Structure 1
Amino acid sequence: MNATPEARWVVVGVDGSDSSRYALEWSANQATLAGLGVRIVTAVWPRDAEGPWREVIVYDDQPQPRHQDAQALLDYARDWILRIFPELRVETELAESRPAESLLDAASRPDAAAVVVGSRGLGGLASAFVGSVGVELAAHAPVPVVVLPKKHEEAHGVKGRVVVGVDGSEQSKRAVDFAFAQADRVGAELIAVCAWQPMAAFASSMGPVPPEAFDDDAVEAAARRTAEAEVADAARRHPDVSVDPRAVRGHPVVALLEAATPADLVVVGSRGRGGFAGLLLGSVSQSVLHGAHGPVAIVH
């Protein structure tokens, strides 16, 4: 969350759930370290206009009480976080649109640095789609998106590392820059993971493959060179960050999730080298988002 004149606020969505409370706490801590403010957003939207099921799902609450409840939630969240971080700049926003749309709007403003949400919120039937808001944000938000699970060790004072996935793509490079800035800010170690898999597993679908590609040692060495090259520039800009570049045999999702503890921040690009141009959120980033036990940052 780089502090620039155009990026002054960490946007965080709250809905009264434990997950959003952790997201607010994490956001406030990060904003304090970076000299940013926190913009707390909640949403009230017309349920009778949610789609084709509006004729069979009847809601008995009225708009006005829902607005009052939402404003009370914002007031409580602001007062609660100011008791913990009394010097923090805090503002609140009550939006009248779907949660993902509200947060995307706030994240798209030039003064936004990042947007943070919990991985599981409230909302009746909508809660069956765990992480749907986080996935939509990660696919479309122009700033880094951080998704926090309901519980993670960092909330109890455990110092975490920063784990970043690297593959040589442009989005991977931006993920590395974000990861180094985070690690430098909190005094954490950075683990750069470049996953590799034996080429023999893909030979039947790839056509002719050079013989050296079947040499696992050569493939592993190439992955290690990628990891080391990917972090070299950022390491020079952040000399105080301890860096551990790793070449890990395995699928990228498995390699990243196995490298991270629940206290660690996992950082990935929204799409890697193998992503399809038409997909805004790649399979690796989406799988990490759903599988991690700690906070995940998605960087475009």
Structure 2
Amino acid sequence: MDSTAPDRWVVVGVDGSDSSRYALEWSGNEAALRGLGIRIVSAVGRIEADGPFGDLVGGGDASAWSRSRDARALVDYAREWILRIFPELHVETRIATERPANALLAEASADDAAAVVVGSRGLSGLAAAFIGSVGVELAADSPVPVVVMPKKHENVQGVKGRIIVGADGSEPSRRAVEFAFTQASQRGTEVVAVCAWQPMAAFASSVGPVPPDAFDDDAVAESARRTAEQEVSGMRERHPDVEVDIRAVRAHPVVALLEVGTPADLIVIGSRGRGGFAGLLLGSISQSVLHGAKGPVAIVH
């Protein structure tokens, strides 16, 4: 292993769950492909038992000392595990004495952070609606791309999945497309650019006057395809090695992305959008994608 420390790092949160192990393996592969280091973070602050919803979501009564001891054992094991798979990697471990979301956001905000990766064990049901998951909190504020791994993922290491990206012409979408092409070039796989569209006739009474061709499904579909084509044109020139599949999908944006994506694919979306992806705010479309995806999801600001 080269003794020179890398300039940038992939930050990965571990908590002992299966999804955090997937996050660790994905991070290791990403770091190896891009010549980055991997920074393994565990937080000993209790998220579940704190605050007004403590009784609802549960939590342990372990002492701060025992939590710190367990966190140290966890990151040491994680470091040993990932070095078995990627022995050439530079690996750091850190333990934070705060909530996991706060700890990872602080790491993501460091100048040398390239991305932050987490599992999606999180909370579910009513508790999740009020408190939110670590991945959702991170994706809302992280200055670097956030990759969230699914709760179940059978193929992480060595799978050359496609890169599925939502394209709508907005600035966050353009950054998502750029991230998608970079990923595809590094992994030797294709980009599938998805622009969702829905029949305009159903919304005419609520949005006011619209051009006649907005009632023509073929015209709306073609407009969506042109949007996606324009979105990827510059990236095609920069990454001529990447094959591109343009798909204008008649569906809600969440449905379009989840139907096109498979468990082996990485879905990439911008933090906010317009047009087919209007109102792409965490807690709405992006949260639905995070909760419904069978494979990893990247949120790019």
From the superposition, tell whether residues 165 and 65 of structure 1 become closer, same or farther in structure 2 (CA, over 3 Å): same
Corresponding position of 1:220:
221
Write the letter of the residue equivalent to 1:245: I
Residues 167 and 226 in structure 1, CA contact (< 8 A), matched pair in contact too: yes
Q: Deviations over 1:74-118 (max 9, x none)?
A: 111101111111110100000010000000000000100000000
From the superposition, tell whether residues 131 and 155 of structure 1 become closer, same or farther in structure 2 (CA, over 3 Å): farther
CA-CA distance at 1:62 after TM superposition? 1.6
Corresponding position of 1:20:
20
CA distance in 2, matches of 1:77, 1:136: 23
Q: Deviations over 1:236-266 (max 9, x none)?
A: 1001000011111111111111111110000
From the superposition, tell whether residues 120 and 49 of structure 1 become closer, same or farther in structure 2 (CA, over 3 Å): closer
CA-CA distance at 1:159 after TM superposition? 2.2
Write the letter of the residue equivalent to 1:18: D
Match of 1:221, SS state, is: helix
Q: Deviations over 1:250-288 (max 9, x none)?
A: 111111111111100000001111555xx8526222211
Matched, 1:231 2:237: no
Corresponding position of 2:284:
283
Instruction: Structure 1 unaligned segments of length 5 or more: list them.
Output: none
CA distance in 2, matches of 1:208, 1:25: 51
CA distance in 2, matches of 1:84, 1:185: 19
CA distance in 2, matches of 1:246, 1:299: 20
CA distance in 2, matches of 1:195, 1:53: 37
CA-CA distance at 1:60 after TM superposition? 3.5
From the superposition, tell whether residues 129 and 205 of structure 1 become closer, same or farther in structure 2 (CA, over 3 Å): closer
Q: Give the aligned CA root-mean-square deviation in angstroms.
A: 2.7
Matched, 1:38 2:38: yes
Corresponding position of 1:294:
295
Residues 29 and 157 in structure 2, CA contact (< 8 A), matched pair in contact too: no
From the superposition, tell whether residues 282 and 17 of structure 1 become closer, same or farther in structure 2 (CA, over 3 Å): closer
Alignment of 1:264-275 (within 5 A): 264-273=265-274, 275=278
Alignment of 1:1-300 (within 5 A): 8-45=8-45, 50-52=50-52, 59-121=60-122, 132-155=133-156, 157-273=158-274, 275=278, 281=282, 283-300=284-301
CA distance in 1, matches of 2:48, 2:243: 53
Q: Which runs of 4+ in 1 moved over 6 A?
A: 54-58, 125-131
**TM-score for the superposition, normalised by structure 2:** 0.90
How many residue pairs get matched? Answer: 293
The percent identity for this pair of structures is 71
Q: Deviations over 1:12-56 (max 9, x none)?
A: 000011110010000000100000000000001167982246699
CA distance in 2, matches of 1:58, 1:24: 24
Write the letter of the residue equivalent to 2:39: R
Residues 160 and 188 in structure 2, CA contact (< 8 A), matched pair in contact too: no
Q: Deviations over 1:106-131 (max 9, x none)?
A: 000010000000011599x9789897
Residues 17 and 122 in structure 1, CA contact (< 8 A), matched pair in contact too: no
Instruction: Structure 2 unaligned segments of length 5 or more: list them.
Output: none
CA distance in 1, matches of 2:48, 2:227: 52
CA distance in 2, matches of 1:262, 1:99: 26
Moved more, 245-254 or 151-160: 151-160
